[in-house]
Amino acid sequence: MAAASSLHAAPRVGSSSPFSSSSAGRRSASAARSVRVAAAAGSGAARRAGGRMVARAAVASKAESPASAASSKSDGHEVLLFEALREALIEEMKEDPTVCVFGEDVGHYGGSYKVTKGLAEMFGDLRVLDTPIAENSFTGMGVGAAMKGLRPVVEGMNMGFLLLAYNQISNNCGMLHYTSGGQFKIPIVIRGPGGVGRQLGAEHSQRLESYFQSIPGLQMVACSTPYNAKGLMKAAIRSENPVVLFEHVLLYNLKEKIPDEEYVLCLEEAEMVRPGEHVTILTYSRMRYHVMQAAKTLVNKGYDPEVIDIRSLKPFDLHTIGNSIKKTHRVLIVEECMRTGGIGASLRSAIIDNFWDYLDAPIMCLSSQDVPTPYAAPLEDATVVQPAQIVAAVEQICQ
């Protein structure tokens, strides 16, 4: 499944390789050349050809985990989730002058959620490019830049707006490596806020995971903490694949301590949030916090749920998921995506195909209602899975 979804995935290698001793020189050079993106592309290509492919791999070793990283030599520093994303962008743009940012208001305004605040002053107006309100055009420009050797990060001010760029993401971004016979790679990151916020209305509450999951050649990840937001952003930028990074609009102000040392996470690896014995709960993004809230109630009732943040929406980490199912024999999927054709439906199918013999109960899936998200707050809450529903579902599965 993973092989089918990653047409030209980078090999799995450790992410702990230090940058070469010449990185300081490259950083000063990149500042001088920030207005010459084309020259930067040639520099980046030459550097990758000169043995830099390991540093561009978008994976980390299997042994790495947030716990092990947090217990590193340094005590780390506290950041909000949007600040962690910004740190990742700054670090990668300093290291590699082929990395650039496109989008509406990403420049001197700093982005609608301040993920790109200060980047235009640091790297210049051509590496942090403010675009017109023309999603199809600037996403296509990002695909073309990636074909020519740059590593663009394209921001959708709101993920719902990227529906206007669906043609570029589907027919070009995901397929050009294959349709060109391998002549082009498309190392592009498409990112932005999505999900159900607080009374943002139907058009600004889109969850596009279900729209993009069927596009061949496209990888999808969803961040849920400052730690994994930074690690996944860095991994996505370094990947040779086109990657869509989903950020939830309500999680930007989450605070967490992250390591001072550099780290890069694996794009294809789930995170064990809470080990348990009775039932496997699979979730991602904002629903991780609804699940953990429900887990407190479940523990008080005598249940021991195992919680996994799948993080990689395409391909699924069936290794981690399968090991959990072989232990608990029961599965609950909790998502904010729509029930019809959502991530939960695909995940349920993959579990049935691969782990049917280990299941002692039917798989349950809690998803958002198949309705446009209402503006009224009580109705909005009614369309999204709540902790009480998760508790009731686990009690039903474990009967």
The confidence score (pLDDT) of residue 204 equals 82
Q: Are 189 and 53 members of one domain? A: yes
The confidence score (pLDDT) of residue 13 equals 33
User: Where is the domain boundary, 233, 258, 283?
Assistant: 258
Q: Which residues of the chain have pLDDT under 50?
A: 1-73
The residue annotated as part of the active site, out of 95, 135, 268, 380, is: 135
Q: Are 275 and 254 members of one domain? A: no
What is this structure's pTM?
0.81
- 182 burial via Cβ count (<10 Å: 0-12, 13-18, 19+): exposed
Place of tokens 């370094």: 238
In a domain, 4, yes or no: no
The residue annotated as part of the active site, out of 64, 83, 104, 204, is: 204
135 counts as catalytic: yes
User: Where is the domain boundary, 207, 235, 258?
Assistant: 258
213 token code pair: 């999951």
Q: Are 247 and 312 members of one domain? A: no
Q: Are 293 and 167 members of one domain? A: no
Q: Are 250 and 312 members of one domain? A: no
Domains in the chain, number: 2
* Whole-number Å distance between alpha carbons of 307 and 324: 9
* 8 A C-beta contact, residue 206 and residue 156: no
In a domain, 65, yes or no: yes
The confidence score (pLDDT) of residue 334 equals 97
Q: Are 211 and 109 members of one domain? A: yes
Q: Are 93 and 217 members of one domain? A: yes
40 token code pair: 């930067």
CATH code at position 138: 3.40.50.970
Q: Are 295 and 147 members of one domain? A: no
* Domain membership of residue 333 as a residue range: 271-397
Parallel/antiparallel/unpaired status of strands 279-283 and 305-309: parallel
The confidence score (pLDDT) of residue 43 equals 42
Q: Are 337 and 365 members of one domain? A: yes
User: Where is the domain boundary, 229, 258, 287?
Assistant: 258
Write the DSSP string, 213-250: TTSTT-EEEE--SHHHHHHHHHHHHH-SS-EEEEEETT
The confidence score (pLDDT) of residue 202 equals 81
User: Who contacts 389 (Cβ-Cβ below 8 Å, separation ≥6)?
Assistant: 366
What H or E segment, with its residue span, contains residue 138?
helix 135-147
* 8 A C-beta contact, residue 188 and residue 151: yes
77 counts as catalytic: no
In a domain, 15, yes or no: no
Q: Are 135 and 221 members of one domain? A: yes
Parallel/antiparallel/unpaired status of strands 219-222 and 312-314: antiparallel
The confidence score (pLDDT) of residue 30 equals 38
The confidence score (pLDDT) of residue 395 equals 97
CATH code at position 389: 3.40.50.920
* 8 A C-beta contact, residue 229 and residue 193: no
In a domain, 330, yes or no: yes
The confidence score (pLDDT) of residue 74 equals 63
Count of C-beta atoms within a 10 Å radius of residue 21: 7
